[in-house]
Each structure stands twice: as C-alpha cells, then as structure tokens.
C-alpha cells in the first residue's frame, strides 16, 4: 500500500457512500494524524476509517490519505503523517513531508489529532513533536488540535476522568491546556461497532466545535498561504522559512556558540533577600508604565499618557513588599509596536535580560480592557515565543488595565469576558493557563492597590510552583550570572586590598567591554530578526504568486 517514491500517497477509499442519498453533500473534513508509530497512529486511522487501510510497514515513510463517509453523509479525509517528529529524522525529511501532507488537502486542515498512548511513557520525542508543530505553524495550531489517547481498553467506565485528576503526566496537562481540553479516548482493540462509531462521533463533535470557534471558518492551511498544485514553489519557500526560523527560533544556541558572547554586561545585586523580576510587555498605550507604578506603590516610570513620557528604553525600579519579597519591575519600551526597528528591539531585549540577572519570574502581558485588540497585540505572542522560545508561555500573566472603567459600569473582569471576549484573548488566556488580573491604575485607594498587587503576586507564586521554583532563564542568563559572580569575586579581592586605582581601571575596562559586547549582540539579534522577517515575506510572496498563476490557469481552462 503506497508507493516507494517521495510523492505522497493519495489513496481514496469511500466507505459507506450508499448512505449519502440525494442530499446536498456536506463539506469534506480533513483530519491529520501526528505522533509516533508506537502510540498507535496507524490503528487509530484505521478505526476512524472503519477498515484496515494504513500500515506501519514501509508506507509509513510517506504521508498517506484515505477517505470514508459516515452514516449521516459526512465525508472524512484521514491523513496519516510519517514519524516526522522522531528525533532521528532530518530537517529536510520533515520539510518535505509537511509539504506532502498539505498538498493532499486543497481546502486546508480542519483538525490535527495529536496521538499519544496512556500506556507508554511520555518521551522526549513527544515534547519535540509539540514544539516542532508550534514552530512550523505558530501557536495558532492549537486552535485545531485534539488530544487523542490510545489504549482506551485500559480504562473502565469513568476511570478516564479519574486518570486526569489523579495521575496525569504534566506534559499531558500542558497539551490539554493548549488545545482547550479537547480530548478523546480511543480503544482500537474493540470489535464493538457501536463503540467505534461513538469514538468517531466524539472526534467529529470536537471538529464541529473547532469550526464554530474559528472566525469565518478560515482553515489553518489557507490562512498560512498553502495550496496544492504548487509543490516546487512551496517547498522552496518552506526551506527558506525553515532555515531562518530554525536559526532564530531558539536564541539559546546562538548565545552558547557565538565567540563574541563570552562576556556580557553585568547587573550587580548585593542583596541577600529573595528577589522577583517582573517584566512588563505590551503595546504602547495599554498602560504598561502606569501598571509598573501601581506595583511599585509610587510614580517612578513616566506615564505613557504624558507628552514625551513614552518609555524609550528598558528601565528597572525596585520595591520591597511588606512581609514579602523584593520586586524588580522592568518596563520595556513598545518592543512590538509596528513602527520600531529590529535594531531597537534587539538592543532592548538584551538590556531587559541583563537587568533580570537571576532570571525572570513572570512576564506581565499588559492589555487594556477598554481598547480594541490590534494586529500588533496579536503578533506580540508569536514574537515573544520567537525570541524567548515557547517556554515563555509558562511565565505569562495577562494584566488588564482599565479597571476604573469597568468599575464605573459596575462590571467585573468576568462580566467583560462573558459579554463578548475577543477570540485572541481567549487563546492567550488558554495558552498561559488562565492567569489574569485586573488593574485599576487610577485609584488612590491604598487598600485597593495592595489587593491588586497581592493578586498579581499570587499568580507569580503559582508560576514558581508550576515550574519548580525556577525563574525563566536561557543560556544568556546563565552567562550573565557566571560573569556576575566572577566580577563580584574580583571586586571583593580588590576592595579587600583597598586598591582604588585598580578599581577605577576595572570600571573603565568593564565599560569599554560592555559597549563592545552590546554592539556585537545587538548586531547579531538584529540580523536574526531581519532574516526571519525577510524569509517570511519572500516565502509568502512566492506562495501568493503561485496561487495566482494556478487560479489563472483554471480560468483559462474554463474559457
């Protein structure tokens, strides 16, 4: 079954077409299976089809598609991907099979079934698969994902939910959070046709829910600009994008191997008290600076509402919470405003990370409950993940400003969401575990301010608990700490000998070194960001041109 060539198998089997009758056919649903072969991806596809079509033998090296029709007339295309997320396969193989998979379905993908087994131990490959999917398609992929767990025969009635409550692995809980808790248990061993049909019905119910959520039912692949019939152009574009995304997705590798990053600017802290580093991110105009002042309990950051007061560079101020930790609040400039340059972004990212020497305990994504969600806000989340990697989602708290307006209308934050929460906000909250807090930055009530800050810090504590009390760090943070420790040791030795002249020389050397390393780091980050942006623009332009050519060919044929 399936050819040995690299072209994807498009074997079509229509099961149950006698049930379609004369009614208007329903739109075809395209469902893609991803996961390791050991988790039962082939048998799951066969269960959905109602007959054995997929095989785990040689054909599993290429994407395959078979079709079936449900008793109510719903045609389903089931696309089984090869083990392209195994750690042993090459990037070239992954890119080709992604294209092969996409060319099987002109209309786009309606759902992605992430197949795992409740019997097998969660491996590094599963986590790699999730990260690879997110890197290729962006976080939007989770809007279409359903978690499918095989080996359902292991559970008796009602035991499935008990499994999630009592002993579910942390990775599964993370996947469920990302895909809005869409899950289905599959028993591929049963011979009971009623059970099989019910399992498929559960999948289709989730697909229907996905379609209801996705605005105007825009399909994932169409949205990303993919179409069939233009494989060479897509493959060339994909390789270009993949090369640069792979280069810029994880800056940790860059920090680790670049010879010019052996020494970095150092932020020295002599305090022995526990310190929490909170970083404010978001669009200019949403009240980042005012939120920082509320946390600090005094006006330190220039308000964005003041003429000329917009934050133009990263700044940090500190406060001590009564009976609590020391808080470092780092206010970033409008890093994700469309008007800023890549040079500006890269320089300030470095400054931000340098200020938070010990790691970042929480990223506060500041949005306004009164402002319309813009394209800049929607791109912020993907940009953050590009720069910091997807691990950042575990450290995000959404802070809504404009609490004074909601209070004036006698509304709570929950009321605001019930009355028409934008789809983007729903997605953000799901990805960051529902962590949110409402801030009234206009109030003069000290008690109310204290309560807001306590609610925020409760989320910070929850983040620490979920992440094993470890702040967000990457290779750059570790380098900064190492150099900071070295500097403090040198400083201690020099001070102990009371060599004022040596201290001054050291200061001058460090300043010169700082300027040079900052310049090189900024150039490096700017180049990464620029390459990524240009690659995406070039790829999408080629795809659009190819689709226009294909459309013109169809028009010419009709005429």
Residues 6+ apart with CB under 8 A from 71: 16, 19, 197
To the nearest 10 degrees (0 to 180), the angle between helices 231-248 and 500-558 is: 170
pLDDT beyond 60 at 400: yes
Return the pLDDT at 269. 39
Strands 145-150 and 275-281: what pairing? unpaired
Residues 6+ apart with CB under 8 A from 243: 535
pLDDT beyond 70 at 272: no
The mean-pLDDT minimum among 52-66, 320-334, 521-535 falls in 521-535
Return the pLDDT at 536. 58
pLDDT beyond 80 at 188: yes
What's the mean pLDDT in 44-53? 91
| Residue range 221-255, pLDDT digits in tens | 333 433 333 334 334 443 443 443 343 333 334 33
pLDDT beyond 60 at 419: yes
Residues facing 326 on adjacent strands: 275, 320
Tell me how far the alpha carbon of residue 324 is from its chain's centroid. 32
CB contact at 8 A, 289 and 302: yes
pLDDT beyond 70 at 424: yes
Return the pLDDT at 257. 38
Return the pLDDT at 232. 40
What's the mean pLDDT in 18-38? 67
pLDDT beyond 80 at 133: no
Return the pLDDT at 361. 94
CB contact at 8 A, 79 and 64: yes
Which is more confident, 257 or 204? Answer: 204
Q: Which two structure tokens, joined as six digits, stand for 478? A: 């570790």
What's the mean pLDDT in 419-444? 87
pLDDT beyond 80 at 27: no
Spell out a b/e string for 364-401, using b for 16 or more CB atoms within 10 Å of the CB, else e. Answer: bbbbbbeeeeeebbeebbebbbbbbbbebbbbbbbbbb
Average pLDDT, the chain: 72
- The separation between the first and the last C-alpha atoms of the chain, rounded to the nearest angstrom, is 39
- Determine the 3-state secondary structure of 464 from DSSP: helix
In angstroms, rounded to a whole number, what is the distance separating the alpha carbons of residues 195 and 186?
9
In angstroms, rounded to a whole number, what is the distance separating the alpha carbons of residues 440 and 404?
5
pLDDT band at 58 (very low <50, low <70, confident <90, very high): low
In the chain, % helix, strand, coil (3-state, to 5) comes to: 55, 15, 35
pLDDT beyond 80 at 198: yes
Ordered by where they begin, the domains of the chain are 17-227 (3.40.50.300), 266-486 (3.40.50.300)
What's the mean pLDDT in 464-486? 69
What's the mean pLDDT in 127-134? 77
What's the mean pLDDT in 278-304? 86
Q: What percent of the chain has pLDDT over 90?
A: 14
The mean-pLDDT minimum among 70-79, 83-92, 217-226, 502-511 falls in 217-226
pLDDT beyond 60 at 258: no
pLDDT beyond 60 at 516: yes
How many separate helices (H) and strands (E) can be counted in the chain? 18, 12
CB contact at 8 A, 207 and 110: yes
What's the mean pLDDT in 434-441? 93
| Residue range 300-341, pLDDT digits in tens | 887 654 434 454 678 888 888 777 788 999 998 766 666 666
Q: Which has the closest alpha carbon to 377: 275, 491, 286?
A: 286
Q: How far is CA 142 from CA 134, 135, 219, 463, 484, in A?
A: 8, 12, 13, 21, 39
Return the pLDDT at 507. 60
pLDDT band at 178 (very low <50, low <70, confident <90, very high): confident
pTM of the shown model? 0.48
Residues facing 438 on adjacent strands: 400
Instruction: Choose from 132-141, 231-240, 447-456, 476-485 the range with maximum mean pLDDT.
Output: 447-456
pLDDT beyond 70 at 185: yes
The mean-pLDDT minimum among 56-70, 133-147, 312-326, 519-533 falls in 519-533
What's the mean pLDDT in 140-152? 87
Spell out a b/e string for 77-86, using b for 16 or more CB atoms within 10 Å of the CB, else e. Answer: bbbbbbbbbb
Q: How far is CA 213 from CA 143, 164, 355, 374, 421, in A?
A: 8, 25, 40, 19, 12
Strands 111-117 and 29-34: what pairing? parallel
Return the pLDDT at 343. 64
pLDDT beyond 70 at 55: yes
The C-alpha torsion from 354 through 357 and 359 to 361, rounded to 10°, is -90
Return the pLDDT at 466. 87
| Residue range 358-390, pLDDT digits in tens | 789 999 999 988 778 877 777 777 777 777 777
The mean-pLDDT minimum among 19-23, 438-442, 456-460 falls in 19-23
pLDDT beyond 60 at 282: yes
pLDDT beyond 50 at 280: yes
């Amino acid at each position: 079954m399936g050819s040995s060539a690299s072209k994807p198998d498009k074997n079509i089997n229509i099961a149950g077409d006698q049930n379609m009758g004369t009614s208007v056919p329903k739109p075809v649903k395209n469902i893609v299976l991803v996961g390791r072969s050991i988790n039962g991806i082939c048998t799951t596809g066969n269960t959905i089809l109602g007959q054995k079509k997929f095989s785990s033998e040689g054909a599993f090296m290429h994407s395959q598609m078979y079709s079936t029709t449900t008793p109510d007339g719903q045609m389903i295309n089931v696309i089984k991907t090869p083990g392209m997320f195994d750690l042993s396969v090459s990037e070239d193989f992954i890119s080709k099979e992604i294209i092969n998979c996409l060319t099987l379905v002109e209309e786009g993908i309606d759902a992605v079934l992430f197949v795992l087994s409740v019997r097998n131990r969660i491996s590094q490959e599963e986590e790699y698969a999730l990260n690879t999917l997110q890197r290729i398609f962006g976080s939007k992929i989770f809007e279409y994902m359903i978690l499918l767990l095989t080996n359902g025969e292991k559970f008796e009635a009602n035991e499935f939910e008990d499994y999630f409550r009592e002993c579910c692995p942390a990775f599964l809980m993370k996947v469920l959070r990302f895909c809005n808790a869409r899950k289905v248990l599959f028993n591929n061993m049963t011979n009971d046709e009623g059970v099989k049909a019910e399992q498929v019905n559960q999948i289709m119910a989730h697909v229907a829910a996905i379609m209801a959520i996705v605005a105007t039912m825009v399909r994932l692949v169409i949205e990303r600009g993919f179409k069939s019939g233009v494989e060479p152009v897509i493959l060339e574009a994909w390789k270009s994008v993949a090369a640069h995304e792979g280069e810029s997705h994880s800056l940790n590798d860059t920090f680790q191997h670049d010879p010019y990053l052996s020494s970095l600017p150092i932020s020295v802290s002599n305090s022995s008290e526990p310190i929490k580093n909170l970083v404010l991110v978001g669009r200019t105009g949403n009240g980042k600076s005012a939120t920082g002042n509320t946390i600090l309990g005094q006006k330190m950051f220039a308000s964005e509402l003041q003429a000329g007061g917009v934050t133009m560079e990263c700044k940090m101020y500190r406060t001590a919470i009564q009976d609590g930790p020391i808080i470092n609040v780092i206010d970033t400039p409008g890093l994700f405003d469309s008007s800023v340059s890549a040079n500006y972004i890269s320089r300030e990212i470095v400054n931000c990370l340098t200020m938070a020497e010990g790691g970042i305990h929480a990223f506060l994504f500041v949005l306004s409950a009164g402002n319309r969600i813009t394209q800049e806000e929607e791109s912020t989340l993907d940009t953050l993940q590009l720069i910091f990697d997807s691990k950042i989602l575990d450290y995000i708290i959404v802070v809504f400003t404009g609490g004074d307006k909601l209070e004036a209308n006698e509304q709570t934050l929950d009321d605001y969401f019930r009355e028409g929460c934008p789809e983007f906000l729903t997605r953000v909250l799901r990805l960051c575990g529902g962590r949110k807090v409402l801030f009234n930055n206009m109030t003069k009530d000290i008690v109310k301010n204290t309560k807001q800050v306590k609610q925020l810090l409760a989320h910070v504590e929850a983040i620490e608990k979920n992440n094993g009390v470890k702040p967000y760090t990457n290779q750059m943070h570790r380098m900064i700490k190492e150099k900071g420790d070295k500097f403090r040791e040198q400083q201690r030795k020099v001070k102990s000998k009371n060599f004022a002249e040596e201290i001054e020389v050291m200061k001058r050397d460090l300043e010169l070194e700082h300027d040079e390393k900052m310049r090189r780091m900024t150039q490096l980050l700017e180049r990464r960001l620029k390459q990524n942006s240009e690659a995406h623009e070039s790829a999408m332009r080629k795809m659009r041109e190819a689709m226009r050519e294909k459309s013109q060919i169809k028009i010419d044929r009709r005429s």
